[in-house]
Amino acid sequence: MGKNIVHKILENHLVEGALAPGGEIAIRIDQTLTQDATGTMAYLQFEAMEVPRVKTELSVSYVDHNTLQTGFENADDHLYLQTVAAKHGIYFSRPGNGICHQVHLERFGVPGKTLLGSDSHTPTGGGLGMIAIGAGGLDVAVAMAGGPFYLTTPQVVKVHLTGALPPWVSAKDVILKVLDIMSVKGGVGKIIEYGGPGASSLSVPERATITNMGAELGATTSVFPSDEVTRTFLKAQGRESDWTEISADTDAHYDDVIEINLSKLEPLVACPHSPDTVRPVASFSDLKVNQVAIGSCTNSSYTDLMQVATVLKGKVVHPDVSLVISPGSRQVYKMLADNGALGDLIASGARILESACGPCIGMGQSPVSGGVSVRTFNRNFKGRSGTKDADIYLSSPETAAATALTGTLADPRTLGDPIKVPQPEQFLIDDRLIIPPSDHPEDVVVRRGPNIKPLPVKEPLRKSLEGEVLIKVDDNITTDHIMPAGAKVLPLRSNIPAISQYVFSAINENFAQRALKKDGGFIVGGHNYGQGSSREHAALAPMYLGVKAVIAKSFARIHRANLVNFGIVPLEFADERDYDQFSQGDLLIIRNLHTDLKEGNKILVVNVTKNREIPVKHGLSPRFIDILLAGGLLNYTKQHA
């Protein structure tokens, strides 16, 4: 039988295991990327491994999240990142150069290669035909040190595209349709491979919008073929020599196939507070909108912003709407400036921000109380915008632009004659904000400001675990609930004692104080616990507070791995109805966990308060078990060095 693209690339990189569904494999990582909010931890961990120079083909450190400098913290972190990069063989993309995923797509991504990034939207690279996976910073640090990346062999789902997008319908509407079909947990344990005749009608940035937001499906990653469209894009980026063709064999096997006819799609939005609550824009009649935000790694390419500029040219945004725009990269920004489109945007009343994540991660531009914000971003989790009671809708740039003009959620098809901005034959290439690693690393002094605190390390797993249920939460709890971001909390990413005070603060006022006072305990969760971001702080900070195990109905992939990496045991109910047997405050004991994990015995959680014994399972690979026994990946790596 023929091979799909996923298996072709994985096979080329396989260092351990076999590509049999459900088994564990290890793959070689060619490229890594980090961003500043996860990067400081990743590099502290890399330094702890005492490897002088990265062993990847390419590693890039981006600064794009923590760019608001309201105190010394972020500036300190940036200086640390710049110096540690110079010393250890890492390229450094300076603040102002753009969002990691957009810049990586433009300047570094290579079809057929593997990319591991400490950010959940790393799958953006799948738009170029890469296997690009998001992971915790510690996994990325291990990859930089030359270690492989371990994952459960994913199922491969094909999304077979036919037809072509109608006017005013765009790539964002394609991925919203996929989210509508599969839901935020439909992609867990899967890689989504796009193909079919419709795929060749989509440009690389359009493909990247789709693979980027595949993260919201819970999928391991998403990938497109590398074809003539890919070659044209790389040529326009002055990198045609990086191109290779990658396609699936005609008789390739897939675990599942989803058919989407692009011609039948219409403008869609994801409604509050989940990316899979999808509705047609046309089904809204009069939704008043206070803010429109255009940008983020999902929708801030040159063509995205040119579409917006063309719609807004000569017009002014509605008096009740605040329009903010953040271009995805310096390349995009400068091209808009050079061709006059930036002037059109400014004239329309848009508030132009720097080229960074900005409002997407709550770094400024929080909407008005109880307000409605339409954003071209990828996540609309409650509170992520910085305003707890705001309603966030996710849309395409075209829908966002139409809405900015009318003041109500607007179908772009009402804008009249279609516009379609062509991809430029030549992008503006200027890499002077990307600093190559030093040729004299021995002379580089790594600068650590007072915000950078040493890494807390856990002791090996205890024989038995005992403590209270510190919190019980519902299904689909996101890492934004566990470890919020935003302008106030993000600067503390290098300071675990300080940031841990905010764990669960969005949903539970004094979790941190309670956890510390009780000497830690347990978390009880529903399905898809830990969905969303790759931030390992959602494991590291609870670990610091003494959380010993999370017992849930099911876990999101990256978060489950992060829990293991930091020595917190992820357990699943054998029978999910047992979730009802737990309340906050119950006293739990898991006896002989150490031995039972090691010997593969059944594990029982004793709920002392309710006087019941509840069977749980874990499905952890032998390697994951060894990591837990060692007290986390850092200890494990040291033991195996």
Which positions lie near ligand MIC, rule CB under 6 A?
37-38, 65, 119-121, 134, 361, 485, 533-535
Measure the CA–CA gap between 489 and 538, rounded to whole angstroms: 13
The residue (of 59 and 329) whose beta carbon lies closer to ligand SF4 is 329
Terminal-residue alpha carbon distance, the chain: 40
Residue with tokens 């179908």: 411
Distance from the Cα of residue 402 to its chain's centroid: 28
Q: Which of 140, 324, 360, 558 is in the footprint of ligand SF4 by CB under 6 A?
A: 360
Residue 535 binds which entry of ligand MIC, ligand SF4, none, with Cβ cut-offs from 5 to 8 Å by kind?
ligand MIC
Burial, 187: exposed, middle or buried (Cβ in 10 Å; 0-12, 13-18, 19+)?
A: buried
Binders in 297-316 for ligand SF4, by CB under 6 A: 297
| Residue 332 interacting with ligand SF4 (CB under 6 A) | no
69 Cβ contact partners less than 8 Å away, ≥ 6 residues apart: 75
In this chain, which stretch among 344-352, 354-362, 417-425, 435-443 interacts with ligand SF4, using CB under 6 A? 354-362
Q: What is the DSSP string of 17-36?
A: S---TTSEEEE---EEEE-H
Q: Which two tokens stand for residue 43?
A: 């590099």
Pick one of ligand MIC, ligand SF4, none as the site partner of residue 494 (Cβ within 5 to 8 A by kind): none
Contacts of ligand SF4 in 101-160 (CB under 6 A): 119, 121
Q: Is the CB of 121 or the CB of 413 nearer to ligand MIC?
A: 121
Q: Which is nearer to ligand MIC, 130 or 345 (CB)?
A: 130
Interatomic CA distance for residues 20 and 33, integer angstroms: 28
CB 191 to ligand SF4: min, Å? 20
Count of residues touching ligand SF4 (by CB under 6 A): 10
- Out of ligand MIC, ligand SF4, none, which partner does residue 38 contact, by CB within 5 to 8 A per kind? ligand MIC
According to CB under 6 A, which one of 114, 118, 378, 385 is a site residue for ligand SF4?
Answer: 378
Q: How far is the CB of 35 from ligand MIC (least distance, A)?
A: 6
The smaller minimum CB distance to ligand SF4, of residues 233 and 381, is found at 381
Q: How far is the CB of 263 from ligand SF4 (least distance, A)?
A: 29
Question: Is the C-alpha dihedral spanning 77, 82, 86, 92 positive or negative?
Answer: positive
Q: Select the residue interacting with ligand SF4 from 252, 309, 325, 357 (CB under 6 A).
A: 357
Q: Are 386 and 291 in contact (CB under 8 A)?
A: no
Residues 48-67 that bind ligand SF4 (CB under 6 A): 65
Cα separations in angstroms, 65 against 101, 108, 300: 12, 19, 15
CB of 327 to ligand MIC, least distance (A): 17
Answer with the entry of ligand MIC, ligand SF4, none that 99 interacts with (C-beta below 5 to 8 A by kind).
ligand SF4
The residue among 312, 519, 490, 503 whose CA lies nearest residue 412 is 312
* CA nearest to 255, candidates 191, 174, 197, 178: 191
Question: Which partner from the list ligand SF4, ligand MIC, none does 296 bind, CB cut-off 5 to 8 Å by kind?
Answer: ligand SF4
Does residue 361 bind ligand SF4 (CB under 6 A)?
Answer: yes
- Cα gap 489→537, rounded to integer Å: 11
Residue 496 parent element (H or E) = helix 496-499
Q: Give the residue with the Cβ less far from ligand SF4, 219 or 552.
A: 219
User: Least distance to ligand MIC from the beta carbon of 216, Å?
Assistant: 10
Q: How far is the CB of 38 from ligand MIC (least distance, A)?
A: 4
- Rounded CA-CA distance 427/430 in Å is 10
Cβ-based nearer residue to ligand MIC, 318 or 535: 535
Residue with smaller CB distance to ligand SF4, 4 or 380? 380
Stretch that binds ligand SF4, among 202-210, 307-315, 355-363, 589-597 (CB under 6 A): 355-363
- What are φ and ψ of residue 580, in 5° steps? -70, -10
Least Å distance, CB 445 to ligand MIC, is 27
**Alpha carbon distance 165, 374 (integer Å):** 22
Return the beta strands (E) in 236-326 as ranges: 256-261, 268-270, 278-280, 291-294, 322-325
Catalytic residues: 64-65, 119, 379, 533, 535
Side chain identity at 29, as an amino acid letter? I
* Least CB distance to ligand MIC at residue 291 (A): 19
Distance CA 161, CA 210 (A): 12
Residues that bind ligand SF4 (CB under 6 A): 65, 99, 119, 121, 296-297, 357, 360-361, 378
